[in-house]
Amino acid sequence: MPEPQSRWSVSASKRLFDVLVSLIVLTFFSLPMLAIAVLIWLCSDGPVIFAQSRIGRRGRPFQIYKFRSMVSAKAGPGLTKDGDGRITGIGYWLRKFKLDELPQFYNVLRGDMSLVGPRPKLPQYAERLTAQYRPGITGAATLAFRSEEEILKKVHPGQMEHFYLRRIKPVKERIDLRYMRRATLWSDLALMFVTLRLSLVPARIPGSFRNLDRTGTQERISTARNGAGTIRALYAEGEQ
């Protein structure tokens, strides 16, 4: 695996930036996070914080933390689609505005994650090419596929795992890898700003995923379009 073109992506400066921002966020949002925790405790049975094993930098496993947005007693697939019956009432709104991910700033502070990077994967979905980077709260593929749950809703449940592994996962990895090899402080700041802005508007399904039949066998993937991975392309997608 060649060295990344971007020194920023694996630099001590990026790590310092992560620590400073996560400290600010955790301090500023401490009271809102306490309020969210109380609402979860009052509205559904189970723990307030959901912890799950994910794969981090260089294949190291770690526990990721989120506000619980699903019914804890229900087992199910690792993939989540729009309208999943396991999602609680309060969990719907937490996921809609990405508030369930606020505890992940603690993961950033610990060094498990970064502010910007490939999303941390479950062990069965771990990726080889992006393993050199810390996983992020947001990332290039996160924005490009922010409608992933809506896409998976169009796929037959029996085909969902196969569809994700063959059609979504490889494209996301290429997008993340290309971005991380070119990333700078300014592109990370821009991507974080776009993430904040897009969390307030409905996700839009990319055109190449709109024409799925019920079995998921007629999908059309445009690697050139979805694999561009540049921050400019992500802006354009967000503006449409």
Please state, in angstroms and rounded to a whole number, the distance separating the CA atoms of residues 32 and 172.
32
Please give the structure tokens belonging to residue 18. Answer: 């992560």
- Identify the CA nearest to 191 among candidates 229, 134, 135: 229
For residue range 57-100, list pLDDT tens digits in order: 999 999 999 999 988 755 566 677 666 778 888 998 998 888 99
- What contacts 64, CB < 8 A, 6 or more positions away? 51, 52, 53, 54, 104, 107, 112, 113, 120
Q: Is the dihedral of CA 144, 213, 82, 79 positive or negative?
A: negative
Residue-level pLDDT, tens digit, the chain, 240 residues? 554 567 899 999 999 999 999 999 999 999 999 999 999 999 988 899 999 999 999 999 999 999 999 887 555 666 776 667 788 889 989 988 889 999 999 999 999 999 999 999 998 888 888 899 999 999 999 998 887 877 887 787 788 888 888 888 999 999 999 999 999 999 999 999 999 888 776 556 555 555 554 434 333 333 333 333 444 554 343 333
**Bridge partners of residue 27, in order along the sequence:** none
Please state, in angstroms and rounded to a whole number, the distance separating the CA atoms of residues 177 and 164.
18
The residue assigned the tokens 């300014």 is 186
The answer to whether residues 144 and 237 touch, using CB atoms and an 8 Å cutoff, is: yes
Please state, in angstroms and rounded to a whole number, the distance separating the CA atoms of residues 145 and 171.
10
- Identify the CA nearest to 206 among candidates 142, 141, 147: 147
What's the length of the chain?
A: 240
- Mean pLDDT (the chain) is 82
